[in-house]
Chain A
Amino acid sequence: MAVKSLLVEKERINLRGVLRARLGELHTVWAWVPMLPFFVFAVAFLLLPSASIVVRSFQGEQGQFTLANIERIFTRPDLLRAYENSILLSIATAIFGGVLGFLLGYAITLGRLPPSIRSMVLTFSGVASNFAGVPLAFAFIATLGQMGLVTRALNDLLGRNIYHSGFSIYNFWGLSIVYTYFQLPLMVLIITPALDGLRREWREAAEGLGATAYHYWRYVALPILLPSLLGTMVLLFANSFGAYATAYAFSGSQINLVPLVIGFNIRGNVLYDPGLGNALALGMVVIMAISIAFYSYLQRRSELWLK
């Protein structure tokens, strides 16, 4: 009898435990409710529209599964060229902006400049990194265009027009300079905190142990910075890869870029072809996804160290 009542008791405890667990689950479900507006919005205006592109790139006109859209990209040299241009331009400006931004970030953090200069550079960078798009294009046309201030100044100075020596603001290198204008400040903004994270004691510990500046940078500072350095450059890559407004404003541009092709497609020009547009957009998303996956991997590496 005693045993039986004990069993019953045990059962009851069990039941109570189960009940409590269920209630707990309910509780955690409730905890998600305040997040609903955010997630509903994200699904409706970001996730579904983007995901639909992925799905529709694999659909034919009647909704059947097909790889034709994607194949079409690979059979059209002009589209392949657009991807190539976009990727190369993004790599080039990520490197320019990255290296120059790093040097500037170094100068304002470790260069022993007055603190007022540092805050001035950072504030200006905040503005300049948002100064992309149409007005930026105008500014560079006024600077390095056919009739630009610098073009004319160089003409007077060197006695010859840089446009006759192959330079143009509308070609690859010209566009690289323009993009660098907003890439550099972005790099400065992101890399400055990382450079601030280099602790003075690390340098001193290294020096105390007999290391030269080279040793310190080679074995300590660069390895520590490398993940955030590369990570930021991936971000710069993405930033320029997706840039539409700046490229569009150079409507006379001789180089074709993926965002422009997609834009033409949306605007319903001669190029109008929904299947192709989907596939082109998918291509962009894939390239961006790869670079961001790389970015977050690097980010995690650097957080691991800098804890």
Chain B
Amino acid sequence: MAQVTRRPSAWAWVWLVIWAVFSWLPLVATLDFSLRARKGMLSLKAYQNIFADPGFYNSLAFSFQMALLTIVISIFLVVPTAYWVHLRLRRARPLVEFVTLLPFVVPAVVIAFGLIRWYCCPPFAFVSSPLLLVAGYVVLSLPYMYRAADTGLRAIDVCTLTEAAQSLGASNLQTFFLVILPNLRASILSGAFLTFAIVMGEFTLSSLLAWPAFGPYMQYVGVFKAYESAALAIISFALTWLVMLLMLWLVRGWAAARAVTAPR
């Protein structure tokens, strides 16, 4: 007689192990490779070389600045827009969603190509300004930032909150800064971190617009130095993890704080 007890999840474990191997093997291999800069022994030489290279710090600093600028501009552009769409202009939602989805559709190469063509020559000779790179990054961040803001706005009752604030005498701007924004903090933060991770490793735009960002630097190192490039891959992976964990930690902390102060 057939047993009704739920099938054991053995096969789920099997898939998990296959996934873990596929996911971790390249990282392990890279780590291993990065430690073999000295023949016949394990060493941190590749890492020492990287850390001794001013180009590493310069490109990292450059990308870091670009990332911060991108995040600030992206938040400024996207969050009020998303809020307004939720509050007043529901009709505009398909349009805004379409626009924010476009960077997913139009490949980064094409965006770079378009930006260069459009801003190469007068009256918009703009190619040599890092702001064009930032603008490109903001474009790339739109889908993530909008998604994040939208999710956050869906989670709170925007209209009621706004009406409550206004009935208590708050102006539009006060409502936005004192009521809405604090409630969106966690989701904006996750969008910001995602943007940060993307910009830090970004290669397409920075290389085609010829900026000394971290992505092109890694590529450049890769052409000449095998062990150092592996070390860079590890560093970059660790950096992404760091950012991710930092974000999770912050968001969880906030969520927990909110659960304590405002039980639903």
By a beta-carbon cutoff of 8 Å, the part of chain A in contact with chain B is 31-32, 34-35, 37-39, 41-42, 44-50, 52-53, 56, 100, 103-104, 106-108, 111-113, 117, 121, 123-124, 126-128, 130-143, 148-150, 181, 184-185, 235, 238, 241-245, 248-249, 251, 259, 262-263, 265-267, 274, 277-278, 281, 284-285, 288-289, 292
Contacts and interface: CB of A to CB of B under 8 A. Distances in A.
A266 B112 contact: yes
B135 interface: yes
Interface in B16-66: 16, 19, 22-23, 25-30, 32-34
B172 to A, nearest CB: 9
A38 B240 CA distance: 28
B107 A259 contact: yes
Interface stretch (B75-83, B153-161, B180-188): B75-83
B139 A45 contact: yes
B68 interface: no
B110 A50 contact: yes
Given A106-B15, A107-B13, A281-B109, 14 more contacts: A31-B89, A32-B92, A52-B118, A53-B110, A127-B237, A127-B240, A128-B23, A130-B198, A133-B202, A134-B219, A245-B219, A274-B117, A278-B113, A292-B101
B67 interface: no
Interface in B211-264: 215, 218-219, 222-223, 226, 229-230, 232-233, 236-237, 240-241, 244-245, 248
A238 B29 CA distance: 29
Contacts of A289: 105
A130 B194 contact: yes
A37 B84 CA distance: 12
A266 B28 CA distance: 36
B129 interface: no
B106 A245 contact: no
Contacts of A38: 77-78, 80-81, 96, 99
Interface string B139-179: 10010000000000000000000000000000000000000
B107 A133 contact: no
Interface string B103-138: 111111111111111110000000000000001101
Interface residues of B, number: 81
Contact of A143 (B25, B107, B197): B25
A241 B107 contact: yes
Nearest to B98: A296
Given A284-B110, A289-B105, A139 B233 contact: yes
Given A50-B106, A131-B237, A263 B12 contact: no
A248 B29 contact: no
B110 A35 contact: no
A244 B109 CA distance: 7
Contacts of A121: 16, 19
A149 B19 CA distance: 18
Contacts of A142: 26, 29-30, 32-34, 230, 233
B208 A149 contact: no
Given A149-B29, A266-B208, A288 B106 contact: yes
